[in-house]
Structure 1
Amino acid sequence: MAWQQIYDPVGNIWLSGLVALTPILFFFFALLVLKLKGHIACTITVGITLAIAILFYKMPALTAVSAGLYGFSYGLWPISWIIIGAVFLYKISVKTGHFDIIRHSISSVSEDHRIQVLLVAYSFGGFLEGAAGFGAPVAITTALLVGLGVPAITAGGLCLIANAAAGAFGAMGIPVIVGAQVIGAAPDAVSAHVGYLQMVIAFIIPIWLVAMSDGLRGLREIWPAIFVAGASFALLLGGTAVFIGPELPDIIAPLGTLIILPFFLRFWQPKHIFKFKNDTQAVTPAVTARACSMAEIARAWSPFVILTFCVALWSLKPVKRLFAAGGPLNWTTLTFNFPGLHDKVLKSPPLTDMPTPYHAVFHLDFISCVGTAIILSAIISVFVLRMKPAVAAETFFETISSLKISIYAIGMVLTFAFLANYSGLSTTLALVMARSGRAFTFFSPVLGWLGVFLTGSDTSSNALFGGLQAATGRQIGVTADILIAANTVGGAVGKMISPQSIAVASAAVGLTGQEGKLLGFTLKCSIILALLCGAATSLLVYIF
């Protein structure tokens, strides 16, 4: 017999909201005040959430445990598989000595770390988000920046912030497409609204990145590069979103910026070259003593070119259809209903129009998973970079060993997220915001922000809260496509504080146990951008 979710377990929605907020408040307190390591903070948070789900929400204990196990399993596959692939690819580049050439080639465009952040975290990271998503962009660009001499905490924080510029249209526009499907709207209509809002965020992000790197001095010294990067990205993203659709904004905008900014830098360079204090200048003498040939540079960058090709190929609709139901390669995906959870929970009004079974279907997509595309690119790179297979195998197992605690932390983060969603805890918080009446246009992106904090995914946030956004919109006379767009953009700026994203960034450069520092680095930016999204949404609805 299925259990129906209860969204006001205390009998007062405001008090119920306070109960639902308790695990989140503890998580922030544990990381920022108690300075607990991430995996310990997540484990305790899971325990608190489990107790609240059973004692307050009356969720059956076995169902609650199954929800947690479902989340942990999702943390292992596909999320951890993606991180293993990304870190393995980076280690191949480093161990073969080719990352020194990559470092040198980036420095030949500009030796200034502030500009390198714009190139790697903002532009290249945006492209990876558009092509792959699911944590790979943050993992890869964080590792690249550390290799360029940026301190690990700073690199992770900057890459998490930079990801907000592209997060709304990540993985070939999947968040927008899913959001439109949930509310029954045309994807192009939602895409246009997302484009208007996301242009503002995309223009602000490079300003914030440089300010976090070098303060006001950085803004004064390289404002032309900031303007060129921000304007290029924002205009190309907005134009693509409005006139073409949701699939290509995060491909065209970052690629355009990667072309326009280096071209601009051929004619302008900052007078003062900024380097972070711990820059090791680790370029090998053989590389610095002479200019690298184009062949050497091409080979050094080849792993990331191969990565781009593989993940782009995996994202194409014809390729996806091969693995979809009825496709010739569907047999490579093991699909099963998760025991003790699938359709054992009923979502209730106003989240849905009527009690609706909450599915729990697990997919072991061995071939079609983005992580497999990354692993394949790493295997190809082994041969392109002429790495001995035995050394490559040793590096792969070394990668897994170094990520053990990080993988556990990611699993616990997803355990918390799935518990919050299946128990109804996350919906309680959403309903509290929905009580704000016409002011809901301000809180609409905040709801998306909360959804991504809880799920780690803009797509999941839209699937979770899309129906509620539409229902609240009908009550206050606002079209659902604007509100789901706000949910999407708010989710993009919430990703930088999502426990899942922070765990991924920490895992990429061995910062496991220092998640609190990363959260402290990104928290202020995330809150300010979420509030800005709220103001922009209200202006779009009531003024424009």
Structure 2
Amino acid sequence: MYRQVLDPLAGSLLWSALCAALPLLTLFVLLGVFRVKAHLAAVASLVLAIALAVLVWDMPAGQALSGAAEGGFYGLFPILWILLNALWIYKMTEVTGWFAVLRRSFGSVSTDQRVQAILIAFCFGALIEALAGFGTPVAITVVMLVAVGIAPVKAATVALVANTAPVAFGSLGVPLTTLAGVTGLPLHDLGAMAGRQTPLIAAFIPLVLVLLLDGRRGVRETWPVAVVAGVVFGLAQFLCANFGSVEITDIVAGIATLLAVVGFLRVWQPATVRQAPAAAPAGPTEAATAATTEPAAGTAAGTGAEPALRGSALMAFAPYLIICALFALTQVGPVKDWLTTNGTLHFTWPGLHVETPAGAPASAVTFKLEHLKGGGTVLFLAGLLTMALYRIGPRTAAKAYGATLHRLRWTVVTVTAVLALAWVMNLSGQTVSLGTALAQTGTAFALFSPIVGWLGVAVTGSDTSANSLFGVLQVTAAHQTGLDPVLLAAANSSGGVLGKMLSPQNLAVAAAAIGLPGSESTIFRRVLGWSLGLLAVFALIVYLQSTPVLGWMTV
């Protein structure tokens, strides 16, 4: 049995925490400063984390390697299983020409790229996050953004930043449900508090997206629709989280925002419309090489030509409507109960015998395999239905699947290595040493509380995992410092969402979605400033909520 130690380096928590930060610093420096390819940076950081686990934290080498294997498998399933099937669906719409129709359909609402980005990345992405999560919104919205002519790397940046607003309430509230489970705090109280935090950031995200796309000129020309989207989303989140249900908060907010934006665009359009160049690429695959032009309508399906069918806009959206419908179906009472009973396996990972510093079994030693309930399986079923709907033959679909697998070959290495890194750091105690060191700051911990959540999501790529990892730590620190445990626990989840945009596995998902594996370092540099800037603002908000200045917001 291996028991985690908080201060293995010279008995000092500070030095141990600094040592624990080395794998993360190595990863981010290699990506952001030296522009090393993501899969190489991830493998190097993993090797360092294993060495520290064995040599400093005194974790048995066999258990360190077993933990790395567990994390790598989690990278394959569910994360890469989700990404693979999401991109397969895109590939089938591309080869049949329906994706070109989808691009044209967005133009019927607004021909302005900046408005289309708000509709796709912010509104539609929130709906996907509400139902799925685990990188699904980024994988889907990135290819849709490129389809309307946005440059690939810029599309990836926009999708990652947009994916911050709904994450705390994503996957039908799973992050907060998990937080309530590990802390013992009432779910409604946690949801209500998060609903008084995340809307303050979400309200400004559409303006940030426009700024990313078109600078100050874009903000000046499209601020009315950006403000409508942000305010409606934030208000809907607040109302539903405080007076409704945590589980449907993002669904309500996403639908309300989509309807509000579409309705507003009926009476207002930008005075100056910014469109894609005439030769803009039709999808990520072409964007990685050269521009393409749309073929003539009316040619046969399966040739990449644009179909000329009545009601083609609805048909073009059909795969994504199928995805939403299937995810919604998995949450219906009897279906959800059956999937929970028969669609999930729990087992102890071989070779792991780990206890927390308090002597309790580490949660990570039990693996949860959602083979039927998982988002990737739902997406695979959506792909089969897309085949039937578009009348795609098995050979064409299999060829598209093979092409998608080939495209993800380096992403597989990156994601599995990063998740292996996260598991080694978590199981050895490195991550807990980092979080505990921050908790030693007394009442000022309210300022650092969101940073702990941000760190957890940056490491694991999941707000749910960060809440599992640091939820109890936040409550313990609150009791020690006299702060509100509900405030700090909610801040862990709300602050964590700001780390998702630069989590290495999410960067890998975005890079794969645009067809440019190896561009993770470029995307990382573009989102780093926004992640840190928004985190600084949010940390100040949470600190003020712990004082009389904004304390009225927590009552």
TM-score bucket of the superposed structures, by smaller chain: over 0.9
Q: Quick one: which of 300, 305, 309 aligns to 2:325?
A: 309
TM-score with structure 2 setting the length: 0.92
Match of 1:319 in 2: 335
Alignment partners' CA distance in 2, 1:85 and 1:170: 20
Match of 2:448 in 1: 443
Alignment partners' CA distance in 2, 1:423 and 1:356: 13
Which residue identity does 2:437 align to in structure 1?
V
Which residue identity does 2:3 align to in structure 1?
Q
Counting only pairs closer than 5 Å after superposition, residues 64-463 of structure 1 correspond to structure 2 as 64-275=64-275, 279-280=280-281, 282-286=293-297, 295-324=311-340, 327=341, 330=342, 333-341=344-352, 344-349=353-358, 354-463=359-468
Q: 1:515 to 1:291 in 2, by over 3 A?
A: closer
Alignment partners' CA distance in 2, 1:12 and 1:147: 53
Q: Offset of 1:334 from its aligned partner?
A: 4.7
Match of 1:24 in 2: 24
Farther off after superposition, 161-170 or 260-269: 260-269
Q: Offset of 1:432 from its aligned partner?
A: 1.4
What value does the CA root-mean-square deviation take over the aligned residues?
A: 1.7
SS in 2 for 1:165: coil
CA contact (8 A) 2:98 2:307 kept: no
SS in 2 for 1:173: helix
Q: Offset of 1:12 from its aligned partner?
A: 1.7
Q: 1:271 to 1:88 in 2, by over 3 A?
A: same
Q: Offset of 1:534 from its aligned partner?
A: 1.1
Alignment partners' CA distance in 2, 1:317 and 1:428: 41
Q: Offset of 1:279 from its aligned partner?
A: 3.0
Q: Offset of 1:285 from its aligned partner?
A: 4.7
Q: 1:115 to 1:314 in 2, by over 3 A?
A: same
Q: Offset of 1:232 from its aligned partner?
A: 1.1
CA contact (8 A) 2:475 2:485 kept: yes
Q: 1:156 to 1:317 in 2, by over 3 A?
A: farther
CA contact (8 A) 1:6 1:348 kept: yes
Alignment partners' CA distance in 2, 1:447 and 1:242: 25
1:40 maps to 2:49: no
CA contact (8 A) 1:183 1:480 kept: no
Alignment partners' CA distance in 2, 1:53 and 1:366: 31
SS in 1 for 2:347: strand
Q: Quick one: which of 502, 509, 518 aligns to 1:513?
A: 518
Alignment partners' CA distance in 1, 2:373 and 2:361: 29
Q: Deviations over 1:20-79 (max 9, x none)?
A: 111111111101111111001000000011111111110110000000000001111111
How many corresponding residue pairs? Answer: 530
Which residue identity does 2:50 align to in structure 1?
L
Which residue identity does 1:336 align to in structure 2?
F
TM-score with structure 1 setting the length: 0.94
Q: Deviations over 1:297-346 (max 9, x none)?
A: 1111111100111122224454232133xx3xx2x5454321101xx111
1:8 maps to 2:4: no
Q: 1:101 to 1:357 in 2, by over 3 A?
A: closer
Farther off after superposition, 426-435 or 306-315: 306-315
Identity %: 37
1:481 maps to 2:486: yes
CA contact (8 A) 2:362 2:427 kept: no
SS in 2 for 1:336: strand
Match of 1:494 in 2: 499
Alignment partners' CA distance in 2, 1:317 and 1:72: 32
CA contact (8 A) 2:204 2:227 kept: no
Which residue identity does 1:251 align to in structure 2?
I
Q: Offset of 1:403 from its aligned partner?
A: 1.1
Which residue identity does 1:198 align to in structure 2?
T
Alignment partners' CA distance in 2, 1:458 and 1:371: 18
Q: Deviations over 1:123-158 (max 9, x none)?
A: 100110001111100000001111111111111111
Specify every segment of 5 or more residues in structure 1 that has no aligned partner in the other structure, as ranges: none
Match of 1:54 in 2: 54
Q: Deviations over 1:196-242 (max 9, x none)?
A: 10111111111111111111111111111111111111111111111
SS in 2 for 1:19: helix
SS in 1 for 2:330: helix
Counting only pairs closer than 5 Å after superposition, residues 462-473 of structure 1 correspond to structure 2 as 462-473=467-478
Q: 1:221 to 1:42 in 2, by over 3 A?
A: same
Match of 2:285 in 1: none
Q: Offset of 1:429 from its aligned partner?
A: 0.8
Farther off after superposition, 467-476 or 379-388: 379-388
SS in 1 for 2:64: helix
Q: Offset of 1:283 from its aligned partner?
A: 4.5
Alignment partners' CA distance in 1, 2:264 and 2:57: 58
